[in-house]
Structure 1
Amino acid sequence: MATAPVEARSTGQKEESPKSSEAPHENAKLDYLTGVKLGLLVASMTLVCFLVLLDISIMSTAIPKITAQFHSLEDVGWYSGAFQLCTAALQPLTGKFYTYFRNKDVFLLHLFVFEVGSLICGLATSSGMLIGGRAIAGAGGAGLMNGCLTIISNAVVGHKRPLYTGILLGFAQLGLISGPLIGGALTEHATWRWCFYLNLPIGGIAAVVLVLVNINDKNSKTRYTIALIKKVIPLLDLPGFALFAPTCCMFLIALQFGGVTYPWNSATVIGLLVGSGVLLILFMLWEARAGEDALIPKHLLKGHIMISSSIYNSFLAPITMVTSLYMPVYYQAVKGVGPTESGVDTLPSILSQILLAVVGGAAVSKLGYYLPWATLGGVLAAIGCGLMSTMDASTSTAAWAGYLFIAGAGRGAGMQMPLVAAQNNLPEKLIPTSLAFLIFAQGISGSVFIIISNTIFTQTLKSTLPMYAPSVSMQDALAAGASSDAIQQLVEGHRDELPGVLQAYSESLGNIWLMLMGFACLIFLASFGMGWTDVRKKKEATVEEKKTESESKSASDAGVNQEV
């Protein structure tokens, strides 16, 4: 781990020698967790990541009950949109917090905000209160995923990071995939409010574990003083955040409104998109001026490794998110099974994803190189998604299970490799910011392509349904949803057109799988730019790292680095 430079401060405190300053840090290197403590920490961090990803997808099967209770069908987009907006807008800023403040404190604060938001959602008495709770939960969730990764990377020796990162991400992804199943079960057998109450005890257990377990943290001796706050605030790049947050919000609101609340060519949607574009340009100009103190430091995206890793993460995310959303549609609408069985049918994808995530992480820790696994992830995902595009009502169980197993293996093999590349090729002080940026890229691209996938599905259905089942009303099909009962009701009185309806749904889903296959090809190409680095070797300061240190403001950094 990089040792912060120590220089005299003008605060009246006694100047420390480099030797005395470095001693605690070197000792911290030897204080890595093992055994029960490490197991508890990894389990608690995995549970927190699970909850964050679960919150993204759990509402999909609870929304019908919620809208019926609050009479709020027009607010559906905001139930998920409010969470995603706040998470995306705050994500880069949280990386700065982990850079300059005690990691435990930053994490626990975000977890507390996430829990408060969840409690408000569970107690909601109106649609507006629910949306507000989702926004608060999203603000807290913005600092949890990268916080978990930062804490785990500090708790274990460098060459073991891929193994434990793979365990964390592999099992945490279950939240995204199992969300509809868990949400449906809670809504049907208890109440939709338990979709949010569930976060409270699990988050509380994780907080207790983190408080009791000591972890390495270069900021562990930080004393929160007025002087520290004054020195850190300029380094947070709050002007950059003031430009970045509305850029994300306006863009995602435009996508939420487009084609649903307002037509795509309406003044509202166009105005939001143009405003987002203008603010994005201003943000980029400001970031170039801010230099290394920027919200997204220019040094972060200088090298091909970080750029390639960002591209990889940006296109792997929609493969995971869109698949988790639309595979239940295939099972229920095309294969005619119920919600519970459709959740069970996703097991081949879940198991292969977890298996390859853990095996890939262990292999990287043992053999040292992550690039082959990143490349393998692109190959398997492309093959799996390509095969999935051939699925229809006649596809056998063995066939679709095999296709899902291959696609899930691709996601599992590649999901942690961009994070491993960032952790092993960037200066130590940029790791929290880089993790926040990679997770931001993952979240924003997933949100965007979920909406695009919905457009692809709807437009394909509009063109194929009249062709295969001319007597079925398109308005009725869109209003009916995608459950097996809804599909059967569409063909009441003309059941001879059921095969045509199923074919129309299959082709609509097939175009989505083809889009994901294209993304898989992109991540295959991006993998070759992620660097051939042996993570087993102790990372030494690179020329770029030394250059970054020399370019830093010596007066500001001296005070902050000694305080933090």
Structure 2
Amino acid sequence: MEKHESHQSLDREQVSGEDTTEPQVTTKEEPVSTKAESLETSPTPTITNDEDEWEYVTGFKLFLAIGVVSLACFIMLLDTSIVSTAIPSITSDFHSLGDVGWYGSSYLLASCALQPMTGKIYSRFSSKWTFMFFLFVFELGSMITALSTSSDMLIVGRAVSGMGASGLINGALTIIAACVPLHKRAVYIGFMMSTAQIGILLGPLIGGALTEYTTWRWCFWINLPAGGVTALILFFIQIPSRIEKRPLKDNLKSTLVALDLPGFFLFAPTAIMLLLALQWGGNKYAWGSATIIGLFCGSGGNFLIFLAWEYKKGDDAMIPFSMVKIRIVWASCILILFFFGAQLTVAYYMAIYFQAVRGVSPTLSGVYLLPTILSQMAAAVTSGILVGRLGYYLPWAVVSGALSAIGCGLLSILKPDSSTGTWIGLQIIGGVGRGLGLQMPIVAVQNALPPSQTSVGMSLVAFSQTFGGALFLSFAQTGLNTGLAEALRKFAPGVTPAAVAAAGATGFRHDLPEASVQGVIESYSQAVSHVFYIAAAAGAMSFILAWGIGWKSVKKPKTVKPEA
């Protein structure tokens, strides 16, 4: 692995446009790995050595570029959480209580199924125009959803939005990689990721206000002006191209071959069956039911066929094995899976703590999450600056995993009567922890791969992030349901879990008998604590996996010219 990393560092120096006509001596030189060579000779478009191709964006244009891609990712993640507060009004308008699960599932399934494919697309076409295409598809889905006249139309709109969202996160990361040199990327990626994460936290707050004072349709109309501003500004910014320019006709033909469509058609149903099993298990169907077992078996069997096909395709595969077997790459992908599992679990269930246990409104619960938002953003930007100056990202990822596990574990001590200082302080611990490591797996993957493979690597990271969130939200929902049922037998024996579920996290105070309300509050408190144990376990896994992302500097090796 050290050989591979040394080779990649030398490769970046060569393509950066530095003058190689004069002999130079590097401070560290090691043999080149044959595995790394096979990775770089993959059939994706080559990276030119033209010095002009490696000019980076600076000044106000860089500020605008980072700002608009951050805004696009913000509205995308806002869209994933804002729908939760709109669902009650939607079901009332369409009389579609039985379709509730599909309002979130259709979006998630489309996004996860397409994400690996988007990496291949970005590796063949301009990152700017590809990003704008995915943004257009996302906005189209938002418009369809806002104009829906039936539940089926709304589900289709959510699926179209998910298709567009599949290319936004990795597209934003690819654009940042094209605009900013590696040793400066951590701070910009940290800003972009932390800004995007605010969308998840603010979704219930904004959605509650829009639903209460206007209509649920504005939860989706709001995406259009933000997307329009993003597209307009990005249109006038020149994003450096890192792929070899070729005629559109030739590029389309070669792209159809390189996209590995058979691999996509094997991967998509694999991901969809697994996600459906996780979402339906313990909710719509029992975990031991034929439906859930069949989905797990179908997903597993299809995955084996997919692996065999990808192995046969070699470096032409949608997910090249030569890339995945690099330790830094697979460790970073698994790390970000657990990292965002903890992140989303805390974001969703802190809101439930405030609304169900503390009894505050959805709007006020969003305000109470500000300690997490502000501490996470400050830590992400700070760690990004320090990575740029010190060069190493691994220490911040390790500290992040440790603090995330501690912070999530401490959240489990929250009670209905916990003081304001307690829940603020505990949020800050976890927020700082997650902020320190927010962008480190991304920087690690970009540092480990040649520029021609960056977009494919970012698609793997984006998929791992999305899948990790879906996986742990499913675990958390099961943990909440199980913990709530056990706690109700202890604190409110006269109330059934079905009655509490029907009343909702905020409605039980009015719908259930007054004598049982306090017992239900205690039950929710204990159940949410169980969920934070799951988040703490994800944080602990992040700590362990962080050690595998490589002790490697993002700074260029110093060069020394020999004396004449």
TM-score (norm 1): 0.89
Task: Determine the structure 2 residue equivalent to 1:486.
Answer: 508
1:218-233 correspondence to structure 2 within 5 Å:
218-219=242-243, 221-225=245-249, 227-233=250-256
Task: Determine the structure 2 residue equivalent to 1:259.
Answer: 282
Q: 1:480 to 1:231 in 2, by over 3 A?
A: same
Task: Determine the structure 2 residue equivalent to 1:370.
Answer: 393
Task: Report the residue type matching 1:314 in the other structure.
Answer: L
Task: Give CA-to-partner distance per residue, 1:64-105, whole Å, 9 cap, x none.
Answer: 000000001111111111111011000000000111111122
- Select the residue among 117, 125, 130 that pairs with 2:154: 130
Structure 2 contact 47–451 (Cα < 8 Å) conserved: no
2:274 and 2:334 map into 1 onto residues whose CA distance is 19
- Select the residue among 319, 326, 329 that pairs with 1:296: 319
Cα shift at 1:219 = 2.8
Structure 1 contact 247–277 (Cα < 8 Å) conserved: yes
Q: 1:454 to 1:410 in 2, by over 3 A?
A: same
In the alignment, structure 1 residue 187 sits paired with structure 2 residue 211: yes
Task: Give CA-to-partner distance per residue, 1:318-370, whole Å, 9 cap, x none.
Answer: 11111111111111111121111111100101111111111111111111111
Task: Report the residue type matching 2:118 in the other structure.
Answer: T
**SS of residue in 2 equivalent to 1:260:** coil
Structure 2 contact 122–130 (Cα < 8 Å) conserved: yes
**SS of residue in 2 equivalent to 1:62:** helix
Task: Determine the structure 2 residue equivalent to 1:441.
Answer: 464
Task: Determine the structure 1 residue equivalent to 2:182.
Answer: 158
Cα shift at 1:220 = 6.8
Task: Report the residue type matching 1:72 in the other structure.
Answer: S
Task: Report the residue type matching 1:100 in the other structure.
Answer: R
Q: How many residues align?
A: 518
Cα shift at 1:501 = 2.3
Task: Determine the structure 2 residue equivalent to 1:25.
Answer: 50
Task: Determine the structure 1 residue equivalent to 2:452.
Answer: 429
Task: Report the residue type matching 1:531 in the other structure.
Answer: G
2:413 and 2:470 map into 1 onto residues whose CA distance is 25
1:539 and 1:532 map into 2 onto residues whose CA distance is 17
Cα shift at 1:23 = 7.6
Task: Give CA-to-partner distance per residue, 1:513-564, whole Å, 9 cap, x none.
Answer: 1111111111111111111111121699xxxxxxxxxxxxxxxxxxxxxxxx
Task: Determine the structure 1 residue equivalent to 2:525.
Answer: 506
1:396-407 correspondence to structure 2 within 5 Å:
396-407=419-430
1:326 and 1:179 map into 2 onto residues whose CA distance is 13
**SS of residue in 2 equivalent to 1:332:** helix
In the alignment, structure 1 residue 467 sits paired with structure 2 residue 490: yes
Structure 1 contact 317–446 (Cα < 8 Å) conserved: yes
Task: Determine the structure 1 residue equivalent to 2:378.
Answer: 355
Q: Identity of aligned pairs, percent?
A: 45
Cα shift at 1:231 = 2.2
Structure 1 contact 103–219 (Cα < 8 Å) conserved: no
Cα shift at 1:303 = 2.0
**SS of residue in 2 equivalent to 1:534:** coil
Task: Determine the structure 1 residue equivalent to 2:435.
Answer: 412
2:457 and 2:157 map into 1 onto residues whose CA distance is 28
Task: Determine the structure 2 residue equivalent to 1:250.
Answer: 273
Cα shift at 1:3 = 4.8
Task: Report the residue type matching 2:490 in the other structure.
Answer: M
**SS of residue in 2 equivalent to 1:295:** coil
Cα shift at 1:258 = 2.7
Task: Give CA-to-partner distance per residue, 1:471-497, whole Å, 9 cap, x none.
Answer: 2233211111111x52354242x2xx4
- Select the residue among 107, 120, 130 that pairs with 1:106: 130
1:238 and 1:473 map into 2 onto residues whose CA distance is 49
Q: 1:372 to 1:24 in 2, by over 3 A?
A: closer
| Further displaced range: 229-238 or 245-254 | 229-238
- Select the residue among 335, 352, 360 that pairs with 1:329: 352
Task: Give CA-to-partner distance per residue, 1:418-454, whole Å, 9 cap, x none.
Answer: 0000011112222111111011011112112212211
Task: Determine the structure 1 residue equivalent to 2:539.
Answer: 520
| Further displaced range: 208-217 or 247-256 | 247-256
Task: Determine the structure 2 residue equivalent to 1:382.
Answer: 405
Q: 1:244 to 1:539 in 2, by over 3 A?
A: farther
2:475 and 2:187 map into 1 onto residues whose CA distance is 34
Q: 1:264 to 1:539 in 2, by over 3 A?
A: farther
In the alignment, structure 1 residue 44 sits paired with structure 2 residue 68: yes
1:23 and 1:535 map into 2 onto residues whose CA distance is 21
Structure 1 contact 386–513 (Cα < 8 Å) conserved: yes
1:534 and 1:228 map into 2 onto residues whose CA distance is 35
Task: Report the residue type matching 1:490 in the other structure.
Answer: L
Task: Determine the structure 2 residue equivalent to 1:342.
Answer: 365
- Select the residue among 88, 91, 102 that pairs with 1:64: 88
- Select the residue among 521, 535, 559 that pairs with 2:554: 535
Structure 1 contact 102–220 (Cα < 8 Å) conserved: no
Task: Determine the structure 2 residue equivalent to 1:213.
Answer: 237
2:423 and 2:501 map into 1 onto residues whose CA distance is 26
Structure 2 contact 331–548 (Cα < 8 Å) conserved: yes
Cα shift at 1:167 = 0.9
Structure 2 contact 124–251 (Cα < 8 Å) conserved: no
Cα shift at 1:22 = 8.4
Structure 2 contact 491–519 (Cα < 8 Å) conserved: yes
1:539 and 1:519 map into 2 onto residues whose CA distance is 38
Cα shift at 1:499 = 3.8
Structure 1 contact 369–534 (Cα < 8 Å) conserved: yes
2:49 and 2:453 map into 1 onto residues whose CA distance is 21
Task: Report the residue type matching 2:274 in the other structure.
Answer: F
Structure 1 contact 161–365 (Cα < 8 Å) conserved: yes
Task: Determine the structure 2 residue equivalent to 1:17.
Answer: none
Structure 1 contact 379–410 (Cα < 8 Å) conserved: yes
Task: Determine the structure 1 residue equivalent to 2:478.
Answer: 455
Task: Report the residue type matching 2:195 in the other structure.
Answer: F
Task: Determine the structure 2 residue equivalent to 1:79.
Answer: 103
**SS of residue in 2 equivalent to 1:482:** helix
Structure 2 contact 143–221 (Cα < 8 Å) conserved: yes
Q: 1:478 to 1:223 in 2, by over 3 A?
A: same
**SS of residue in 1 equivalent to 2:360:** coil
Task: Report the residue type matching 2:238 in the other structure.
Answer: N
Structure 1 contact 472–491 (Cα < 8 Å) conserved: no
Task: Report the residue type matching 1:487 in the other structure.
Answer: R
Task: Determine the structure 2 residue equivalent to 1:54.
Answer: 78
**SS of residue in 1 equivalent to 2:550:** coil
Structure 1 contact 102–222 (Cα < 8 Å) conserved: no
Structure 1 contact 393–503 (Cα < 8 Å) conserved: yes
Cα shift at 1:106 = 1.2
**SS of residue in 1 equivalent to 2:248:** coil
- Select the residue among 291, 304, 308 that pairs with 1:281: 304
Q: 1:158 to 1:199 in 2, by over 3 A?
A: same
TM-score (norm 2): 0.89
2:494 and 2:160 map into 1 onto residues whose CA distance is 46
Structure 1 contact 382–521 (Cα < 8 Å) conserved: yes
Structure 1 contact 240–295 (Cα < 8 Å) conserved: yes
Cα shift at 1:469 = 1.6
* Backbone CA RMSD of aligned residues: 1.8
State the 4+ residue runs in structure 1 displaced beyond 4 angstroms: 1-4, 21-24
Structure 2: 5+ residue stretches without partners: 1-11, 17-45, 560-564
Task: Report the residue type matching 1:468 in the other structure.
Answer: F
Structure 1 contact 25–218 (Cα < 8 Å) conserved: no
